[in-house]
Amino acid sequence: MFSVIRCKKMSILLTAIFAIATVCGSACSRKTTHADPDLDSFAKQIAERKVNDFGYPANHDIRLGDFYTWLTSSKLYAAMINNAGDPFDQHGGHLNALSFERNVIEFFGPHYGFDKGNLWGLVTASGTDGNNHGIYFGSKYLEKKTRKKPVVYVSDAAHYSNMRLADLQNLKLVLVPSDVHGRMIPEEFEKRLVPNRPALMVYAMGTTFKGGIDDQDALNKILARHPSIEVYRHVDAALFGGYLPFTEFRDLVDRKKHPFDSIAVSGHKFFGMDEPAGIFLTTMEVKNNQNPFEVSYLNGSMPMINCSRSALSPLKLFWIIRHTGEQGFISQAASLLERAKWLKDSMDKMSWPAWLEPASNTVYFKRPPDALVQKYDLAPDSDARLGGNLSHIVVMQHVTKERLQSFLNDLERTRQVHETR
């Protein structure tokens, strides 16, 4: 009797093991079928390299894992949704996430001093796409008001996208020299001001290499001395525009304190998107003074440059806003600035020439030996006024003090090797 029961138990156990093995086997074979050694080794390489990626303004502390789990479990991944259309004027019947896009813009609007009733914007493909809209909207707005094409003024330390875009849009570009801190020199700007043409100012809110911030008040004072010149102000705040609203320096990006007309910010820098994206914000007045191009098949007007646009980027930004929250952004921003100051102080202590501009998370310094430049992916630049070759570290969320300490240890070691030679 006992052995019969034992036998039965045994057979149940074996059946269970067989069932588990079958499920496991098919899952494993599915895994094997879909595994791709090339993609796997690429992913491994990126995971290793991102740890020491210090030279570019990417935030590698991505928190979208749960978003992708949701995307798969909700089956949304299997639909093609397209944000062609205006998030503030939704007519289209096609599959889109325009209401989430509008929600994202309305979350950020007040952070840059836009009132809800006088706000228009979109989630862009990148900071460059935001600058493209700023220059395009600015130029059409000024042309409509004055019947003249504007001149674009930008400092020679600003991001090259502004120069490329002025060229693309066939606009006259005036490059204004910058000072040693990367800021447009107001006197040099005034010397170059074209008296009979509207001015499209591109203010740099954190230049790419030195983190210089154009002095909006000084430049606005000059413009006020030339009241016949119609002005549009676009702020290129690709990196700094992400964290500044959440710091004591928030006034710099508040249009109620500094009257700008539009602003562009990257989404994959401070905010932690895992692919290029951004936001572009402007006023209804600017938007209503564009050529709308009525598009019947979309049942609406299309003031923006692109037709098809990502619907996933707004959803990811919506997710990031929901899961980070105001308080999360505030503490991330404080932490970046604290670590940047710590890095600068540490380099001062070892007497390695280093600079940090106010409100900046970018420490720039005398360029270290090549081995370190490669190990930490340090971007190169040079400035004769500061002794020649320079590099910088952009202190993003993944650039922890421990990792910075390793960099400082490497720097000290290589210096000692060089000095004893």
Ligand X SMILES: Cc1ncc(COP(=O)(O)O)c(C=O)c1O
Positions in the binding site for ligand X (CB under 6 A): 57, 126-128, 159, 161, 206-208, 236, 238-239, 266, 276, 278
Q: Is 295 helix (H, G, I), strand (E, B) or coil?
A: strand
Neighbours of 293 (CB within 10 A): 10
Name the minimum Å distance from CB 294 to ligand X.
Answer: 30
Name the minimum Å distance from CB 394 to ligand X.
Answer: 9
Is the CB of 276 or the CB of 368 nearer to ligand X? 276
Name the minimum Å distance from CB 122 to ligand X.
Answer: 14
Contact 300, 85 (CB under 8 A): yes
Is the CB of 85 or the CB of 134 nearer to ligand X? 134
Contact 145, 230 (CB under 8 A): yes
Distance (Å, rounded) from C-alpha 228 to C-alpha 281? 27
Is the CB of 97 or the CB of 165 nearer to ligand X? 165
Q: 355 - beta bridge partners?
A: 364
Is the CB of 139 or the CB of 346 nearer to ligand X? 139
Name the minimum Å distance from CB 209 to ligand X.
Answer: 8
Q: Is 393 helix (H, G, I), strand (E, B) or coil?
A: strand
Which residue number has the CB closest to ligand X?
Answer: 127
Is the CB of 271 or the CB of 355 nearer to ligand X? 271
Closest residue by Cα to residue 340 from 397, 296, 283, 389: 397
Name the minimum Å distance from CB 409 to ligand X.
Answer: 28
Contact 243, 362 (CB under 8 A): no
Closest residue by Cα to residue 186 from 150, 147, 159, 226: 226
Is the CB of 92 or the CB of 127 nearer to ligand X? 127
Return the amino acid letter for 317: L
Name the minimum Å distance from CB 399 to ligand X.
Answer: 16
The set of residues, in sequence order, having a beta carbon less than 8 Å from that of 179 and lying 6+ positions away, is 185, 212
Name the minimum Å distance from CB 239 to ligand X.
Answer: 5
Q: What share of the chain is helix, strand, coil (3-state, %, to 5)?
A: 50, 15, 35
Q: Is 219 helix (H, G, I), strand (E, B) or coil?
A: helix
Structure tokens given for 403: 């990792």
Is the CB of 213 or the CB of 229 nearer to ligand X? 213
Name the minimum Å distance from CB 351 to ligand X.
Answer: 29
Closest residue by Cα to residue 142 from 231, 31, 73, 28: 231
Distance (Å, rounded) from C-alpha 349 to C-alpha 346? 5
Neighbours of 3 (CB within 10 A): 8
Walk across the sheet containing 151-155 and list its strands.
120-124, 278-282, 262-266, 231-236, 199-204, 151-155, 172-176
Is the CB of 56 or the CB of 352 nearer to ligand X? 56
Name the minimum Å distance from CB 238 to ligand X.
Answer: 3
Name the minimum Å distance from CB 234 to ligand X.
Answer: 11
Closest residue by Cα to residue 376 from 354, 406, 349, 346: 406
Is the CB of 121 or the CB of 278 nearer to ligand X? 278
Name the minimum Å distance from CB 421 to ligand X.
Answer: 36
Is the CB of 126 or the CB of 346 nearer to ligand X? 126
Contact 392, 380 (CB under 8 A): no
Closest residue by Cα to residue 113 from 306, 257, 236, 326: 257
Structure tokens given for 235: 């702020």
Distance (Å, rounded) from C-alpha 267 to C-alpha 272? 7
Is the CB of 128 or the CB of 310 nearer to ligand X? 128
